[in-house]
């Protein structure tokens, strides 16, 4: 019998399912501290938790531990790296809380639109202030959903009955898939400019941190509402404070830098704020508990490890090739356009990389979708592409081409109006360094994809490199390296500059206009 330790107030369905299976002994104790519980049960095989901190000390106190299950999506409270060093798999239950969060978004929108919280307090105090609480209806309004993962899609479904117009932005989701959810895909500026309500459903990453800043907030309609039930860091708080004062924006918030008692920095700008209640429903708790138990049983009985989030690099594969797959995909994404709707991903693995095609798909999907956990397995990667409506093909390769231990990432994205753009990037690892060999028809680049990079594709003619260099100098940016190949027909050139600092979007856009570039972008690799 395998002992499962549950040191939290998890729904009893987890214990019921595990005990009914017959292969587990379950100890559920939410009152005893975790260190004492671990000391009393050193033979525990599995640990099922909610938000309890699972530190290296806790893991080391359980020498027989083989798996930790987080009944929820995030695993930031678990020392996953130390678990990996100990040979312990860490799993989560993504999507179990999705409906709870989606319903909370609708509840916040309705409560604020009808002033329910203040009206309740007023009425209880004996006042009768109907005119003071004149509200507004959702029907006929436009709602922008930033991020169409599990939660964003459910928000769209829950709002459908309110007869609203739904706009969406998620570069990882195909346009025709969004149409099936009655969502019209638009670019970020359009979403913020046209929406009466904007709701955020993104992970907090380097790319999304501070994404909702002065530029996007400045586009919002006067009196529009921003809802954040995602992550606090996505919103630039200072910019929101200024935009709210200038445009009377409404702000409904459920997320904070730290889940703890004490003053909250957004208290002066939040019209409604609640203590991270998104997943706090009986149903979500039951769903997460059920999923955790079912996944443990599938993991043990059938070897299904799709939800393991801290997998090792497979034996025999240089970890640098995982970084290469991630970096080439990130670069290809910029070439097709960060906001363009992906339709197809194609891969080609050469030499000794072919047996690792499934594993290398994981960093490829992680580069495309910030919400995808890079520690997941290939089944989860394929599922993420399928759910987003993106076709995936791993091509047969011709080893006679001599691309020894190389890989090629091709992306096809829609630009609107039936137009498509393809990006094809090939690279390898040379002497331990990542190397880009080709971007589209620009071959023999031998470009190391690291650091701050700005690139332009333009019709070949003299003087363009000098104009780009002058634009960088005017912005106070130093150039460290340059690659400037021409295509096979001599019609176009590609200028790739490695620079010493980030290049502002305004500088990239102005330079692209000046040189009449077909493509222009900045990316940190």
Q: What is the DSSP letter of 442?
A: B
Q: What is residue 215's predicted lDDT score, i.e. its pLDDT?
A: 94
Whole-number Å distance between alpha carbons of 56 and 233: 27
Helix (H) or strand (E) holding 394: strand 391-394
Share of the chain above pLDDT 70, in %: 98
* CATH 3.30.70.260 domain residues, the chain: 451-525
Q: What is residue 470's predicted lDDT score, i.e. its pLDDT?
A: 94
Residue 110 has pLDDT above 80, yes or no: yes
Domain 2-96+283-302 has CATH 3.90.1150.10: no
In the CATH scheme, what is the code of domain 98-273? 3.40.50.720
Mean of all residue pLDDT scores within the chain = 91
| Model confidence pLDDT, tens digit, residues 385-405 | 998 889 999 988 776 666 778
Structural tokens at position 18:
């595990």
User: Are 345 and 366 within 8 A, CB to CB?
Assistant: no
Q: What is residue 419's predicted lDDT score, i.e. its pLDDT?
A: 80
Residue 136 has pLDDT above 80, yes or no: yes
Q: What is residue 314's predicted lDDT score, i.e. its pLDDT?
A: 67
Q: CA torsion sign, 139 to 144 to 148 to 151?
A: negative
| Model confidence pLDDT, tens digit, residues 6-55 | 999 899 999 999 999 999 999 999 999 999 999 999 999 999 998 888 99
* CATH 3.30.1330.90 domain residues, the chain: 313-449
| Model confidence pLDDT, tens digit, residues 203-248 | 887 778 899 999 999 999 999 999 999 999 999 999 999 999 999 9
In the CATH scheme, what is the code of domain 451-525? 3.30.70.260
Q: What is residue 54's predicted lDDT score, i.e. its pLDDT?
A: 93
Residue 311 has pLDDT above 80, yes or no: no
Residue 73 has pLDDT above 80, yes or no: no
Q: Characterize 26-44 residue by residue with b for buried, 16 or more Cβ atoms within 10 angstroms of its Cβ, and e for exposed.
A: bebeeeeebeebbeebeeb
| Model confidence pLDDT, tens digit, residues 326-360 | 999 999 999 998 878 899 999 999 988 888 888 89
User: Are 377 and 362 within 8 A, CB to CB?
Assistant: yes
Residue 120 has pLDDT above 70, yes or no: yes
| Model confidence pLDDT, tens digit, residues 19-32 | 999 999 999 999 99
DSSP string covering 265-314, please? TTTTT-SEE-SS-TT-SHHHHHHHHHHHHHHHHHHHHH---TTBSSPPPP
The mean-pLDDT minimum among 60-69, 364-373, 433-442, 463-472 falls in: 364-373
| Model confidence pLDDT, tens digit, residues 288-308 | 999 999 999 999 998 887 788
Share of the chain above pLDDT 90, in %: 69
Band of residue 312 on the pLDDT scale cut at 50, 70, 90: low
In the CATH scheme, what is the code of domain 313-449? 3.30.1330.90
Residue 432: strand, helix, or coil = coil
DSSP string covering 234-277, please? GB-HHHHHHHHHHH--EEEE---SS-SSS--TTTTT-SEE-SS-
| Model confidence pLDDT, tens digit, residues 414-453 | 877 778 889 999 999 988 889 999 999 998 888 899 899 9
State mean pLDDT over 350-371.
88
pTM score of the predicted model: 0.74
State mean pLDDT over 517-524.
92
Residue 200 has pLDDT above 90, yes or no: yes
Q: What is residue 434's predicted lDDT score, i.e. its pLDDT?
A: 92
| Model confidence pLDDT, tens digit, residues 147-182 | 998 899 999 999 999 999 999 999 888 787 888 899
* CATH 3.40.50.720 domain residues, the chain: 2-96+283-302, 98-273
């Amino acid at each position: 019998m395998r002992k499962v330790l549950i040191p939290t107030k998890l729904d009893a369905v987890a214990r019921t399912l595990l005990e009914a299976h017959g292969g587990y002994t379950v100890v559920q104790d939410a009152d005893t501290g975790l260190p004492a519980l671990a000391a009393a049960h050193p033979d525990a095989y599995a640990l099922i938790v909610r938000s309890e901190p699972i530190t290296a000390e806790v893991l080391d106190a359980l020498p027989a531990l083989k798996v930790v299950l987080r009944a929820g999506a995030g695993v930031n409270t678990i020392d996953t790296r130390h678990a990996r060093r100990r040979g312990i798999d860490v799993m989560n239950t993504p999507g179990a809380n999705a409906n709870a969060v989606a319903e909370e978004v609708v509840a916040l929108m309705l409560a604020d639109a009808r002033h329910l919280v203040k009206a309740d307090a007023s009425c209880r105090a004996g006042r009768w202030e109907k005119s003071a609480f004149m509200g507004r209806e959702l029907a006929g309004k436009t709602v922008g959903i930033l991020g169409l993962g599990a939660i964003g899609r459910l928000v769209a479904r829950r709002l459908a009955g309110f007869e609203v117009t739904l706009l969406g932005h998620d570069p990882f989701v195909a346009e025709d898939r969004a149409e099936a959810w009655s969502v019209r895909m638009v670019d970020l500026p359009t979403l913020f400019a046209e929406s009466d309500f904007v709701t955020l459903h993104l992970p907090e990453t380097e790319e999304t941190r501070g994404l909702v800043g002065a530029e996007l907030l400045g586009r919002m309609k006067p009196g529009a509402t921003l809802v954040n039930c995602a992550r606090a860091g996505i919103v630039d708080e200072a910019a929101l404070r200024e935009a709210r004062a200038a445009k009377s924006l409404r702000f409904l918030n459920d997320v904070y830098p730290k889940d703890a008692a004490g003053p909250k920095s957004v208290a002066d700008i939040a019209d409604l704020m609640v203590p991270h209640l998104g997943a706090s429903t009986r149903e979500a708790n039951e769903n997460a508990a059920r999923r955790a138990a079912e996944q443990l049983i599938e993991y043990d009985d059938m070897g299904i490890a799709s939800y393991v989030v801290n997998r090792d690099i497979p034996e025999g594969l240089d970890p640098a090739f995982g970084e290469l797959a991630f970096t080439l995909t990130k670069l290809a994404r910029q070439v097709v356009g960060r906001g363009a709707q992906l339709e197809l991903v194609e891969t080609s693995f050469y030499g000794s990389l072919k047996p690792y095609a499934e594993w290398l798909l994981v960093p490829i999907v992680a580069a495309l979708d910030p919400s995808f956990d890079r520690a997941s397995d290939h089944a989860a990667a394929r599922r993420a592409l399928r759910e987003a409506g993106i076709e995936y093909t791993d091509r047969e390769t011709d080893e006679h081409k001599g691309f020894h231990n190389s890989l090629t990432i091709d992306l096809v994205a829609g630009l609107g109006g039936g137009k498509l753009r393809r990006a094809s990037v090939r690279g390898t690892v040379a002497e331990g360094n990542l190397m880009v060999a080709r971007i589209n028809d620009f071959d023999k680049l031998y470009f190391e994809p690291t650091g701050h990079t700005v690139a332009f594709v333009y019709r070949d003619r003299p003087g363009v490199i000098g104009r780009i260099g002058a634009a960088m100098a005017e912005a106070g940016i130093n150039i460290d390296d340059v690659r400037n190949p021409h295509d096979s027909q001599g019609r176009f050139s590609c200028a790739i500059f490695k620079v010493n600092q980030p290049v502002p979007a305004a500088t990239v856009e102005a330079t692209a206009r000046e040189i009449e570039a077909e493509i222009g972008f900045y990316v940190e690799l």
